[in-house]
Structure 1
Amino acid sequence: MTLSAFDQFLSPVYLGVPLIALAILLPWPLLPTLAPAPLHRWLSNRLLSSQNWLIGWIVNQVILPLNPGGHKWAALFVSLMMFILSLNLLGLLPYTFTPTTQLSLSLGLAFPLWLATVIVGARNQPTEALAHLLPKGTPTLLIPVLIVIETISVLIRPLSLGVRLTANLTAGHLLIQLISSAMLFLLLQMSPAAIPTMIILFFLTLLETAVAVIQAYVFVLLLSLYLQENI
Protein backbone atom coordinates (compact mmCIF):
# COMPACT_ATOMS: atom_id res chain seq x y z
CA MET A 1 0.00 0.00 0.00
CA THR A 2 1.43 3.37 -1.05
CA LEU A 3 1.04 6.12 1.53
CA SER A 4 0.84 9.78 0.61
CA ALA A 5 2.80 12.46 2.44
CA PHE A 6 -0.52 14.19 3.06
CA ASP A 7 -1.86 11.23 5.07
CA GLN A 8 -0.37 12.84 8.19
CA PHE A 9 -3.04 15.55 7.94
CA LEU A 10 -5.97 13.13 8.01
CA SER A 11 -8.08 13.39 11.15
CA PRO A 12 -7.09 10.42 13.35
CA VAL A 13 -9.76 7.89 14.21
CA TYR A 14 -9.53 5.25 16.95
CA LEU A 15 -12.20 2.54 17.21
CA GLY A 16 -14.39 4.64 14.95
CA VAL A 17 -14.14 7.70 17.21
CA PRO A 18 -12.53 10.88 15.71
CA LEU A 19 -9.73 12.08 17.97
CA ILE A 20 -9.72 15.67 16.71
CA ALA A 21 -11.95 16.67 19.65
CA LEU A 22 -9.37 15.26 22.07
CA ALA A 23 -6.59 17.12 20.25
CA ILE A 24 -8.53 20.38 20.52
CA LEU A 25 -9.27 19.97 24.24
CA LEU A 26 -5.78 18.76 25.21
CA PRO A 27 -4.05 22.19 25.45
CA TRP A 28 -6.39 23.61 28.07
CA PRO A 29 -5.41 21.28 30.97
CA LEU A 30 -1.75 22.09 30.26
CA LEU A 31 -2.22 25.81 30.92
CA PRO A 32 -1.46 26.65 34.57
CA THR A 33 -4.04 28.51 36.62
CA LEU A 34 -4.16 30.15 40.01
CA ALA A 35 -6.99 27.90 41.20
CA PRO A 36 -4.90 25.20 42.96
CA ALA A 37 -2.73 27.76 44.76
CA PRO A 38 -3.77 29.19 48.13
CA LEU A 39 -5.30 32.63 47.90
CA HIS A 40 -2.78 34.10 50.34
CA ARG A 41 0.25 33.12 48.22
CA TRP A 42 1.97 36.10 46.67
CA LEU A 43 4.71 34.23 44.82
CA SER A 44 3.91 31.96 41.88
CA ASN A 45 5.99 29.32 40.15
CA ARG A 46 8.08 29.85 37.01
CA LEU A 47 5.50 28.35 34.67
CA LEU A 48 2.74 30.62 35.94
CA SER A 49 5.04 33.64 35.80
CA SER A 50 5.91 32.83 32.18
CA GLN A 51 2.25 32.54 31.30
CA ASN A 52 1.47 35.87 32.98
CA TRP A 53 4.33 37.51 31.07
CA LEU A 54 2.99 36.09 27.78
CA ILE A 55 -0.53 37.31 28.53
CA GLY A 56 0.80 40.76 29.41
CA TRP A 57 2.79 40.87 26.17
CA ILE A 58 -0.28 39.90 24.14
CA VAL A 59 -2.32 42.62 25.80
CA ASN A 60 0.36 45.26 25.17
CA GLN A 61 0.84 44.29 21.54
CA VAL A 62 -2.72 43.53 20.46
CA ILE A 63 -5.25 45.03 22.87
CA LEU A 64 -3.84 48.37 24.07
CA PRO A 65 -3.48 49.88 20.55
CA LEU A 66 -7.25 49.43 20.09
CA ASN A 67 -9.78 52.08 20.97
CA PRO A 68 -11.22 51.77 24.49
CA GLY A 69 -14.31 50.11 23.03
CA GLY A 70 -12.19 47.18 21.89
CA HIS A 71 -10.61 46.49 25.28
CA LYS A 72 -13.61 44.38 26.27
CA TRP A 73 -12.40 41.85 23.67
CA ALA A 74 -9.12 41.35 25.57
CA ALA A 75 -10.11 38.09 27.27
CA LEU A 76 -11.36 36.62 23.99
CA PHE A 77 -8.25 37.56 22.01
CA VAL A 78 -5.84 36.39 24.69
CA SER A 79 -7.65 33.05 25.06
CA LEU A 80 -7.75 32.64 21.28
CA MET A 81 -4.03 33.26 20.87
CA MET A 82 -3.12 30.92 23.75
CA PHE A 83 -5.39 28.27 22.22
CA ILE A 84 -3.97 28.50 18.69
CA LEU A 85 -0.41 28.76 20.00
CA SER A 86 -0.84 25.62 22.11
CA LEU A 87 -2.33 23.66 19.21
CA ASN A 88 0.45 24.73 16.85
CA LEU A 89 3.27 23.89 19.26
CA LEU A 90 1.82 20.58 20.43
CA GLY A 91 1.41 19.56 16.80
CA LEU A 92 5.20 19.62 16.40
CA LEU A 93 5.64 16.75 18.83
CA PRO A 94 6.03 13.21 17.44
CA TYR A 95 2.89 11.08 17.08
CA THR A 96 0.60 14.07 17.53
CA PHE A 97 -2.05 15.70 15.38
CA THR A 98 -2.32 19.42 14.60
CA PRO A 99 -6.00 20.46 14.40
CA THR A 100 -5.08 23.82 12.87
CA THR A 101 -3.90 22.04 9.72
CA GLN A 102 -7.59 21.35 9.06
CA LEU A 103 -9.18 24.13 7.02
CA SER A 104 -12.55 23.43 8.63
CA LEU A 105 -11.19 24.34 12.07
CA SER A 106 -9.34 27.44 10.86
CA LEU A 107 -12.40 28.74 9.02
CA GLY A 108 -14.55 27.79 11.99
CA LEU A 109 -12.47 30.14 14.12
CA ALA A 110 -12.02 32.89 11.53
CA PHE A 111 -15.53 33.28 10.14
CA PRO A 112 -17.55 33.78 13.38
CA LEU A 113 -14.98 36.20 14.83
CA TRP A 114 -14.78 38.21 11.60
CA LEU A 115 -18.57 38.29 11.43
CA ALA A 116 -18.70 39.52 15.03
CA THR A 117 -16.45 42.48 14.15
CA VAL A 118 -18.68 43.31 11.16
CA ILE A 119 -21.83 43.16 13.29
CA VAL A 120 -20.23 45.40 15.91
CA GLY A 121 -19.39 47.97 13.23
CA ALA A 122 -22.86 47.80 11.66
CA ARG A 123 -24.46 48.29 15.08
CA ASN A 124 -22.23 50.99 16.57
CA GLN A 125 -21.24 53.07 13.53
CA PRO A 126 -23.09 51.97 10.39
CA THR A 127 -22.14 55.10 8.43
CA GLU A 128 -18.40 54.68 9.05
CA ALA A 129 -18.62 50.95 8.33
CA LEU A 130 -20.19 51.61 4.93
CA ALA A 131 -17.73 54.43 4.25
CA HIS A 132 -14.89 51.89 4.14
CA LEU A 133 -16.40 50.52 0.93
CA LEU A 134 -15.78 53.78 -0.94
CA PRO A 135 -12.53 55.76 -0.54
CA LYS A 136 -12.86 59.51 -0.32
CA GLY A 137 -12.37 61.41 -3.57
CA THR A 138 -13.22 58.51 -5.86
CA PRO A 139 -14.21 59.55 -9.41
CA THR A 140 -17.88 59.05 -10.19
CA LEU A 141 -17.28 56.51 -12.93
CA LEU A 142 -15.23 54.30 -10.61
CA ILE A 143 -17.69 54.29 -7.72
CA PRO A 144 -19.60 51.09 -8.72
CA VAL A 145 -16.37 49.22 -9.48
CA LEU A 146 -14.66 50.21 -6.24
CA ILE A 147 -17.71 49.33 -4.17
CA VAL A 148 -17.72 45.83 -5.65
CA ILE A 149 -13.95 45.43 -5.15
CA GLU A 150 -14.03 46.66 -1.55
CA THR A 151 -17.02 44.43 -0.76
CA ILE A 152 -15.20 41.40 -2.11
CA SER A 153 -12.06 42.33 -0.13
CA VAL A 154 -14.12 42.51 3.07
CA LEU A 155 -15.94 39.22 2.41
CA ILE A 156 -12.70 37.40 1.60
CA ARG A 157 -11.07 38.29 4.92
CA PRO A 158 -12.21 35.19 6.88
CA LEU A 159 -11.10 32.96 4.00
CA SER A 160 -7.64 34.56 3.97
CA LEU A 161 -7.40 34.19 7.76
CA GLY A 162 -8.20 30.50 7.72
CA VAL A 163 -6.19 29.62 4.61
CA ARG A 164 -3.11 31.52 5.85
CA LEU A 165 -3.03 29.62 9.12
CA THR A 166 -3.67 26.22 7.56
CA ALA A 167 -1.36 26.66 4.55
CA ASN A 168 1.66 27.80 6.55
CA LEU A 169 1.40 24.97 9.07
CA THR A 170 0.69 22.37 6.40
CA ALA A 171 3.69 23.43 4.31
CA GLY A 172 6.03 23.32 7.31
CA HIS A 173 4.83 19.92 8.52
CA LEU A 174 5.04 18.50 5.03
CA LEU A 175 8.60 19.76 4.59
CA ILE A 176 9.65 18.28 7.93
CA GLN A 177 8.10 14.94 6.97
CA LEU A 178 9.90 14.86 3.62
CA ILE A 179 13.30 15.78 5.07
CA SER A 180 12.95 13.34 7.97
CA SER A 181 12.10 10.55 5.50
CA ALA A 182 15.18 11.45 3.45
CA MET A 183 17.30 11.49 6.62
CA LEU A 184 16.08 8.01 7.59
CA PHE A 185 16.85 6.67 4.13
CA LEU A 186 20.35 8.20 4.13
CA LEU A 187 20.97 6.94 7.67
CA LEU A 188 20.37 3.36 6.50
CA GLN A 189 22.18 3.65 3.18
CA MET A 190 24.89 6.31 3.59
CA SER A 191 25.40 7.26 7.24
CA PRO A 192 27.89 10.15 6.69
CA ALA A 193 25.50 11.83 4.24
CA ALA A 194 22.75 11.82 6.87
CA ILE A 195 24.60 14.25 9.16
CA PRO A 196 23.94 17.39 7.02
CA THR A 197 20.34 16.29 6.67
CA MET A 198 20.03 16.06 10.46
CA ILE A 199 21.38 19.60 10.80
CA ILE A 200 18.92 20.86 8.20
CA LEU A 201 16.07 19.07 9.97
CA PHE A 202 17.07 20.60 13.31
CA PHE A 203 17.06 24.16 11.98
CA LEU A 204 13.86 23.50 10.05
CA THR A 205 12.21 22.38 13.28
CA LEU A 206 13.31 25.61 14.95
CA LEU A 207 11.91 27.55 12.00
CA GLU A 208 8.61 25.70 12.18
CA THR A 209 8.41 26.46 15.90
CA ALA A 210 8.81 30.16 15.10
CA VAL A 211 6.16 29.84 12.37
CA ALA A 212 3.74 28.25 14.85
CA VAL A 213 4.16 31.22 17.20
CA ILE A 214 4.03 33.85 14.45
CA GLN A 215 0.91 32.42 12.82
CA ALA A 216 -0.99 32.47 16.11
CA TYR A 217 0.08 36.09 16.63
CA VAL A 218 -0.81 37.12 13.06
CA PHE A 219 -4.24 35.49 13.30
CA VAL A 220 -5.16 37.46 16.43
CA LEU A 221 -3.46 40.65 15.20
CA LEU A 222 -5.48 40.71 11.97
CA LEU A 223 -8.68 40.14 13.91
CA SER A 224 -7.80 43.08 16.15
CA LEU A 225 -7.21 45.25 13.06
CA TYR A 226 -10.60 44.24 11.67
CA LEU A 227 -12.14 45.13 15.03
CA GLN A 228 -10.33 48.49 15.08
CA GLU A 229 -12.08 49.45 11.82
CA ASN A 230 -15.49 48.83 13.39
CA ILE A 231 -15.25 50.42 16.82
Structure 2
Amino acid sequence: MNLSFFDQFSSPCLLGIPLILLATLFPILLFPSPNNRWITNRLTTLQSWCINLITKQLMIPLNKNGHKWAMIFSSLMIFLLSINLLGLLPYTFTPTTQLSMNMALAIPLWLATILIGLRNQPSASLGHLLPEGTPTLLIPALILIETTSLLIRPLALGIRLTANLTAGHLLIQLISTATTALLSIMPAISIVTTTILLMLTILEVAVAMIQAYVFVLLLSLYLQENI
Protein backbone atom coordinates (compact mmCIF):
# COMPACT_ATOMS: atom_id res chain seq x y z
CA MET A 1 0.00 0.00 0.00
CA ASN A 2 2.82 2.41 0.86
CA LEU A 3 4.48 1.77 -2.47
CA SER A 4 1.25 2.50 -4.36
CA PHE A 5 1.09 5.98 -2.79
CA PHE A 6 4.39 6.90 -4.43
CA ASP A 7 3.66 5.26 -7.78
CA GLN A 8 2.01 8.50 -8.88
CA PHE A 9 5.43 10.19 -8.86
CA SER A 10 7.06 7.68 -11.19
CA SER A 11 7.16 8.57 -14.86
CA PRO A 12 4.52 6.60 -16.83
CA CYS A 13 5.80 4.36 -19.59
CA LEU A 14 4.25 3.01 -22.79
CA LEU A 15 5.97 -0.02 -24.32
CA GLY A 16 8.98 0.74 -22.12
CA ILE A 17 9.22 4.36 -23.36
CA PRO A 18 8.93 7.09 -20.65
CA LEU A 19 6.13 9.54 -21.39
CA ILE A 20 7.57 12.42 -19.38
CA LEU A 21 8.54 14.24 -22.59
CA LEU A 22 4.95 14.01 -23.82
CA ALA A 23 3.67 15.25 -20.45
CA THR A 24 6.08 18.18 -20.68
CA LEU A 25 5.07 19.18 -24.20
CA PHE A 26 1.32 18.65 -23.75
CA PRO A 27 0.60 22.11 -22.18
CA ILE A 28 1.74 23.76 -25.42
CA LEU A 29 -1.33 22.34 -27.17
CA LEU A 30 -3.67 24.07 -24.73
CA PHE A 31 -2.66 27.61 -25.62
CA PRO A 32 -4.02 29.13 -28.85
CA SER A 33 -1.42 30.34 -31.28
CA PRO A 34 -1.48 34.09 -32.14
CA ASN A 35 -2.78 35.21 -35.52
CA ASN A 36 -2.64 38.34 -37.64
CA ARG A 37 -6.21 39.46 -37.04
CA TRP A 38 -6.88 42.89 -35.61
CA ILE A 39 -9.69 41.60 -33.40
CA THR A 40 -9.02 38.33 -31.59
CA ASN A 41 -11.41 36.01 -29.80
CA ARG A 42 -12.05 36.02 -26.07
CA LEU A 43 -9.63 33.19 -25.29
CA THR A 44 -6.71 34.85 -27.05
CA THR A 45 -7.53 38.18 -25.41
CA LEU A 46 -7.61 36.55 -21.97
CA GLN A 47 -4.33 34.80 -22.68
CA SER A 48 -2.65 38.05 -23.75
CA TRP A 49 -3.98 39.84 -20.67
CA CYS A 50 -2.60 37.13 -18.36
CA ILE A 51 0.80 37.13 -20.07
CA ASN A 52 1.04 40.93 -19.84
CA LEU A 53 0.07 40.84 -16.17
CA ILE A 54 2.63 38.13 -15.37
CA THR A 55 5.38 39.91 -17.30
CA LYS A 56 4.64 43.21 -15.56
CA GLN A 57 4.80 41.64 -12.10
CA LEU A 58 8.07 39.84 -12.85
CA MET A 59 9.79 42.85 -14.39
CA ILE A 60 8.98 45.33 -11.59
CA PRO A 61 12.13 44.52 -9.51
CA LEU A 62 14.43 44.68 -12.59
CA ASN A 63 15.93 47.63 -14.38
CA LYS A 64 15.92 48.10 -18.15
CA ASN A 65 18.87 45.75 -18.64
CA GLY A 66 16.90 42.93 -17.04
CA HIS A 67 13.91 43.43 -19.32
CA LYS A 68 15.71 41.34 -21.93
CA TRP A 69 14.74 38.33 -19.82
CA ALA A 70 11.02 39.09 -20.02
CA MET A 71 10.34 36.43 -22.67
CA ILE A 72 12.28 33.74 -20.77
CA PHE A 73 10.67 34.46 -17.42
CA SER A 74 7.14 34.74 -18.83
CA SER A 75 7.51 31.50 -20.79
CA LEU A 76 8.91 29.70 -17.76
CA MET A 77 6.09 31.01 -15.57
CA ILE A 78 3.38 29.84 -17.97
CA PHE A 79 5.15 26.51 -18.47
CA LEU A 80 5.39 25.75 -14.75
CA LEU A 81 1.88 27.05 -14.06
CA SER A 82 0.26 24.89 -16.73
CA ILE A 83 2.18 21.75 -15.74
CA ASN A 84 1.42 22.20 -12.03
CA LEU A 85 -2.30 22.73 -12.64
CA LEU A 86 -2.62 19.89 -15.16
CA GLY A 87 -1.00 17.56 -12.65
CA LEU A 88 -4.00 17.99 -10.34
CA LEU A 89 -6.32 16.30 -12.83
CA PRO A 90 -7.11 12.60 -12.27
CA TYR A 91 -4.98 10.02 -14.07
CA THR A 92 -2.31 12.55 -14.97
CA PHE A 93 1.38 12.92 -14.25
CA THR A 94 3.12 16.01 -12.86
CA PRO A 95 6.66 16.36 -14.27
CA THR A 96 7.55 19.04 -11.70
CA THR A 97 7.37 16.45 -8.90
CA GLN A 98 10.65 15.10 -10.31
CA LEU A 99 13.67 16.70 -8.67
CA SER A 100 15.79 16.00 -11.75
CA MET A 101 13.53 18.14 -13.95
CA ASN A 102 13.34 21.01 -11.47
CA MET A 103 17.11 21.03 -11.04
CA ALA A 104 17.50 20.97 -14.84
CA LEU A 105 15.48 24.19 -14.91
CA ALA A 106 17.06 25.83 -11.86
CA ILE A 107 20.78 25.23 -12.40
CA PRO A 108 21.19 26.61 -15.97
CA LEU A 109 19.07 29.70 -15.29
CA TRP A 110 20.83 30.41 -11.98
CA LEU A 111 24.22 29.89 -13.62
CA ALA A 112 23.24 32.26 -16.43
CA THR A 113 22.52 35.04 -13.91
CA ILE A 114 25.90 34.46 -12.25
CA LEU A 115 27.80 34.51 -15.54
CA ILE A 116 26.03 37.70 -16.63
CA GLY A 117 27.09 39.38 -13.40
CA LEU A 118 30.69 38.22 -13.75
CA ARG A 119 30.80 39.45 -17.33
CA ASN A 120 29.13 42.86 -16.92
CA GLN A 121 30.18 43.86 -13.40
CA PRO A 122 32.72 41.42 -11.94
CA SER A 123 33.70 43.67 -9.01
CA ALA A 124 30.12 44.12 -7.81
CA SER A 125 29.30 40.43 -8.26
CA LEU A 126 32.33 39.30 -6.29
CA GLY A 127 31.69 42.05 -3.75
CA HIS A 128 28.56 40.23 -2.58
CA LEU A 129 30.85 37.56 -1.12
CA LEU A 130 32.52 40.04 1.22
CA PRO A 131 30.48 43.01 2.54
CA GLU A 132 32.32 46.25 3.16
CA GLY A 133 33.60 46.78 6.69
CA THR A 134 34.02 43.12 7.58
CA PRO A 135 36.62 42.50 10.34
CA THR A 136 39.82 40.90 9.12
CA LEU A 137 39.45 37.81 11.27
CA LEU A 138 35.99 37.09 9.87
CA ILE A 139 36.91 37.45 6.19
CA PRO A 140 37.72 33.74 5.46
CA ALA A 141 34.66 32.45 7.33
CA LEU A 142 32.34 35.02 5.77
CA ILE A 143 33.59 34.30 2.23
CA LEU A 144 33.00 30.59 2.83
CA ILE A 145 29.49 31.20 4.17
CA GLU A 146 28.50 33.55 1.34
CA THR A 147 29.90 31.17 -1.29
CA THR A 148 27.93 28.29 0.22
CA SER A 149 24.74 30.35 0.27
CA LEU A 150 25.33 31.29 -3.37
CA LEU A 151 25.90 27.70 -4.49
CA ILE A 152 22.89 26.39 -2.58
CA ARG A 153 20.42 28.67 -4.37
CA PRO A 154 19.62 26.34 -7.31
CA LEU A 155 19.27 23.41 -4.91
CA ALA A 156 16.79 25.40 -2.84
CA LEU A 157 14.83 26.33 -5.97
CA GLY A 158 14.48 22.74 -7.14
CA ILE A 159 13.78 21.21 -3.73
CA ARG A 160 11.18 23.85 -2.83
CA LEU A 161 9.14 23.21 -5.96
CA THR A 162 9.47 19.43 -5.70
CA ALA A 163 8.68 19.21 -1.99
CA ASN A 164 5.59 21.41 -2.09
CA LEU A 165 4.00 19.63 -5.03
CA THR A 166 4.93 16.15 -3.80
CA ALA A 167 3.58 16.79 -0.31
CA GLY A 168 0.30 18.17 -1.65
CA HIS A 169 -0.26 15.29 -4.08
CA LEU A 170 0.58 12.71 -1.45
CA LEU A 171 -1.74 14.28 1.14
CA ILE A 172 -4.61 14.40 -1.37
CA GLN A 173 -4.14 10.72 -2.18
CA LEU A 174 -3.98 9.75 1.50
CA ILE A 175 -7.19 11.61 2.36
CA SER A 176 -9.00 10.31 -0.73
CA THR A 177 -7.99 6.75 0.19
CA ALA A 178 -9.31 7.27 3.73
CA THR A 179 -12.56 8.72 2.36
CA THR A 180 -13.13 5.68 0.16
CA ALA A 181 -12.32 3.27 2.98
CA LEU A 182 -14.66 5.01 5.46
CA LEU A 183 -17.58 5.35 3.05
CA SER A 184 -19.07 1.94 3.87
CA ILE A 185 -18.04 1.89 7.54
CA MET A 186 -18.68 5.43 8.81
CA PRO A 187 -20.54 7.54 6.23
CA ALA A 188 -20.62 10.61 8.48
CA ILE A 189 -16.85 10.63 8.90
CA SER A 190 -16.50 10.04 5.17
CA ILE A 191 -18.52 13.18 4.44
CA VAL A 192 -16.25 15.18 6.74
CA THR A 193 -13.11 13.86 5.04
CA THR A 194 -14.66 14.64 1.66
CA THR A 195 -15.11 18.26 2.74
CA ILE A 196 -11.51 18.35 3.92
CA LEU A 197 -10.44 16.85 0.60
CA LEU A 198 -12.25 19.57 -1.37
CA MET A 199 -10.66 22.30 0.74
CA LEU A 200 -7.24 20.68 0.33
CA THR A 201 -7.72 20.51 -3.44
CA ILE A 202 -8.47 24.23 -3.55
CA LEU A 203 -5.38 24.84 -1.42
CA GLU A 204 -3.28 22.68 -3.74
CA VAL A 205 -4.45 24.72 -6.75
CA ALA A 206 -3.25 27.84 -4.96
CA VAL A 207 0.05 26.14 -4.07
CA ALA A 208 0.58 25.09 -7.69
CA MET A 209 0.15 28.69 -8.84
CA ILE A 210 2.18 30.23 -6.02
CA GLN A 211 5.12 27.85 -6.40
CA ALA A 212 5.40 28.58 -10.11
CA TYR A 213 5.39 32.30 -9.34
CA VAL A 214 7.93 31.97 -6.50
CA PHE A 215 10.30 29.92 -8.67
CA VAL A 216 10.42 32.58 -11.39
CA LEU A 217 10.37 35.50 -8.93
CA LEU A 218 13.44 34.20 -7.10
CA LEU A 219 15.25 33.85 -10.42
CA SER A 220 14.39 37.46 -11.24
CA LEU A 221 15.76 38.55 -7.85
CA TYR A 222 18.96 36.62 -8.50
CA LEU A 223 19.22 38.39 -11.84
CA GLN A 224 18.64 41.75 -10.17
CA GLU A 225 21.76 41.25 -8.06
CA ASN A 226 23.92 40.72 -11.16
CA ILE A 227 22.79 43.46 -13.55
Question: Normalising by the residue count of structure 1, what TM-score does the alignment of the two structures yield?
Answer: 0.95
Further displaced range: 93-102 or 181-190? 181-190
CA drift at 1:107: 0.1
The one-letter amino acid of 1:77's match is: F
Give 4+ residue runs of structure 1 displaced > 4 Å after superposition: none
Unaligned runs of at least 5 residues, structure 1: none
For residues 46-85 of structure 1, the aligned pairs below 5 Å read 46-85=42-81
Report the Cα distance in structure 2 between the residues aligned to 1:111 and 1:169, rounded to whole angstroms. 19
Q: How many residues align?
A: 227
- 1:31-110 to structure 2, matched below 5 A, reads 31-35=31-35, 39=36, 41-110=37-106
Mapped partners of 2:195, 2:42: distance in 1 = 31
CA separation in 2, counterparts of 1:58 and 1:138? 39
Are 1:111 and 2:107 matched, yes or no?
Answer: yes
3-state DSSP class of the match of 2:183? Answer: helix
Tell me which residue corresponds to 1:12: 12
Identity %: 67
Deviation at 1:190, TM superposition (A): 2.1
Matched residue SS, 1:26:
helix
Cα-Cα RMSD: 1.2
**Corresponding residue number in structure 1 for 2:203:** 207
**Does the 8 Å contact 1:80/1:220 carry over to 2?**
yes
Partner of 1:171, secondary structure, is: helix
| Native 8 Å contact 2:61 2:221 kept in 1 | no
Cα distance, 1:2 vs. partner?
6.6
Correspondence for 1:21 = 21
Further displaced range: 77-86 or 24-33: 24-33
Report the equivalent of 2:176: 180
Question: Contact (CA 8 Å) 1:64, 1:71: kept in 2 or not?
Answer: no
Distance in 2 of aligned mates of 1:25 and 1:71: 26
Query: Structure 1, residues 148-201: CA drift from partner, whole Å, max 9, x if none?
Result: 000000000000000000000000000000000001111132222211111100
- Tell me the distance in 2 between the aligned counterparts of 1:42 and 1:198: 47
Unaligned runs of 5+ in 2: none
